[in-house]
Amino acid sequence: MAKLYFRYGAMGSGKTRDIMKVWYNYKEKEKVAVIIKPVKDKKGENKIVSRDNNELDTDYLISSEDNLYLLICKHITENNLDCVLIDEAQFLERHHVEELTEVVDKLGITVMCYGLRADFQDNLFPGSEALFIYADVLEELKTICKCGEGATRNVRFEKGIPVFSGEQVAIDGIEGVSYESMCRSCRKKLVKKYSMQNNKKEDA
């Protein structure tokens, strides 16, 4: 039975590697899966790229205006399709997720979305929030913090300096931006440390 999945995890939890594994599993069984990612993700351009630099071509790059149900309907008029795989699903719009429920419910095609739960300020992304509402299956992909605890938070660095304010979207590896996954406790300590340092600069 077709379902809408949301597999989420912090940076470095292997989300893109899992997409690649699923894609190859379908291929080995002579099934067809398409890969979609939002155009907001500039990393790799028209490819999905894992942290160990493996790549796969995407079948579709989508913008905020695209209708995913219509896109898939058009695709299946000319092609077989067994599964839709979506990378960086946190960048989806709410209407995209609603359209994906139509792909599952009306077309009977399984959709597997992979993405971050929350941004570097601990706010839900629009796509993630919608997926928590609409997905049939929620699965967390695990990774660990440097301290050894489970990492659930994403900390943004700009040129090696942690930042806790700014635009919600800044792509890993572009313009000096990088991310590190941390547990809640370690993130709190880092926020406190840099808040104290900034207060001292202001008092000087």
Q: What is the pLDDT of residue 8?
A: 96
Dist CA 159 CA 38 (whole Å)? 25
Dist CA 75 CA 101 (whole Å)? 17
Mean pLDDT, contiguous 10-residue spans, the chain (204 residues)? 96 92 96 95 82 89 97 96 96 97 98 94 93 97 94 90 82 79 93 70 51
Active site residues: 88
Number of domains in the chain: 1
Is residue 154 exposed (0-12), middle (13-18) or buried (19+ Cβ within 10 Å)?
Answer: buried
Range of the domain at 43: 4-203
Q: What is the pLDDT of residue 170?
A: 77
Q: Per-residue DSSP letters for 157-188?
A: EETTEEE--S-S---TTSTTEEEEEE-HHHHH
Q: What is the pLDDT of residue 197?
A: 62
Q: Per-residue DSSP letters for 24-71?
A: HHHHHTT--EEEEEETT--TTTTEEE-TT--EEE-SEEE-TT--HHHH
Q: CATH code at 80?
A: 3.40.50.300
Global pTM? 0.88
Q: What is the pLDDT of residue 137?
A: 98
Dist CA 130 CA 112 (whole Å)? 14
